[in-house]
Structure formats: C-alpha cells, structure tokens
C-alpha cells in the first residue's frame, strides 16, 4: 500500500508532488533514473517509519523527571545543554530500540522496492531481499538458499555489532 500511495503522490496528473515537480520544471523519472528511484525509496521509507520513531522519542522524553529540567534551569543551562546532557542520555535506550527496529525493517525491504520499480532501473535498486523473493518465486532454490545464507550472515553480523555496542554502553553507564 505504501508504494501505491507514493506513486499517487508523484503522478503528474493528480499527485501533489508530481504536479509540484512539473511546475518547477524538474523531470522526475523514477522508472529510468536510478538516483530518482533511490530518492523515492528513501523518502517513502522515511515517511513510512518517522511516526514510530517520533512516538518512541516522545515516550522516552516523557519519562525524564521534571527535577532534571528544574536543576538545569537553576544552573542556567541553555536548550542545547539540556538536550545534550539530560534528554539525549535519557533517550539512549529508546533510540537504541528504534535503531534496532529500523535495521530489522530495512533488512526486510521488499514491498517498497518491488512496488516502485522492481529493482530497476538496471538493478540499481535491487536489494538482497528482492532478489531472494524473485528466486523463490521462480523456483530457483539453489540461488535462493545461497542468498538466504548470505542474508543470515549479514543479520548475525549486524546483531553481533549491536550487542557489542550495547555491552560497551552498559559498562560505561556503571
């Protein structure tokens, strides 16, 4: 559904973005220009998930006790100092969770890329998950199994790196 919404947005006949691009004279051609396809996929994926990250950040900020803000006000701390020394450290766990969720979702990107341009133009936006899905649909189980093993190794390396970072951060907090 998300790709269909964005294809509607960029349609030059009735889409807001398509009409805006046409009005400023920009020929936005996502079908044959790889950079335009990448821009569309990045904008679409960001738009799709910014709400979740905003809700997580808001929930994290709501847990910061008011006494921290009062102490910062008494000390004469500016907005940047409050953000850097109070809010950001308190948001660490929430932002880490958002990062983990976004990495997991990014590893599963299939519907966005397939719905927009099916990996084109010239496989410029062909993701591992997209190629894996195409191999399975075409009953190419040998290449699909090999891609699955590569995919598993990538996921394990990313999970291991996040675990190492989490351990270092928890040791630093003690």
30-34, 38-42, 141-145, 154-158: the lowest-pLDDT one: 30-34
Provide the residue range defining the domain that includes 104: 2-126
Q: Is residue 37 part of a domain?
A: yes
Q: Is residue 52 part of a domain?
A: yes
The pLDDT > 90 percentage for the chain reads: 22
Q: Is residue 133 part of a domain?
A: no
Q: At residue 141, does pLDDT exceed 80?
A: yes
Q: Is residue 149 part of a domain?
A: no
Total structural domains within the chain: 1
Please state the pTM of the whole predicted model. 0.67
Q: Is residue 174 part of a domain?
A: no
Q: Is residue 172 part of a domain?
A: no
Q: Is residue 137 part of a domain?
A: no
**DSSP H stretches of helix in 63-140:** 66-75, 79-82, 88-90, 92-107, 111-117, 128-137
Asked if 109 and 129 count as a contact pair (C-beta separation under 8 A), the reply is yes
Q: Is residue 67 part of a domain?
A: yes
């Amino acid at each position: 559904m998300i790709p269909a919404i964005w294809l509607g947005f960029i349609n030059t006949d009735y889409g807001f973005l398509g009409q805006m691009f046409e009005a400023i004279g920009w020929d936005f051609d996502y079908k044959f220009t790889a950079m335009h396809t990448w821009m569309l996929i990045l904008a679409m994926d960001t738009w799709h998930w910014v709400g979740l990250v905003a809700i997580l950040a808001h929930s994290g900020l709501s847990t910061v006790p008011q006494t921290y803000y009062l102490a910062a006000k008494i000390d004469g701390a500016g907005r940047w100092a409050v953000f850097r020394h109070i809010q950001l450290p308190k948001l660490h766990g929430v932002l880490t969770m958002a990062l983990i969720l976004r990495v997991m979702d990014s590893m599963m990107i299939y519907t966005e890329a397939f719905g927009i341009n099916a990996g084109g133009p010239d496989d410029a936006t062909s993701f591992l998950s997209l190629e894996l899905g195409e191999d399975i649909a075409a009953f190419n189980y040998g290449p699909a199994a090999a891609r699955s093993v590569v995919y598993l190794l990538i996921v394990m390396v990313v999970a291991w790196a996040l675990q190492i970072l989490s351990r270092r951060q928890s040791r630093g907090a003690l």
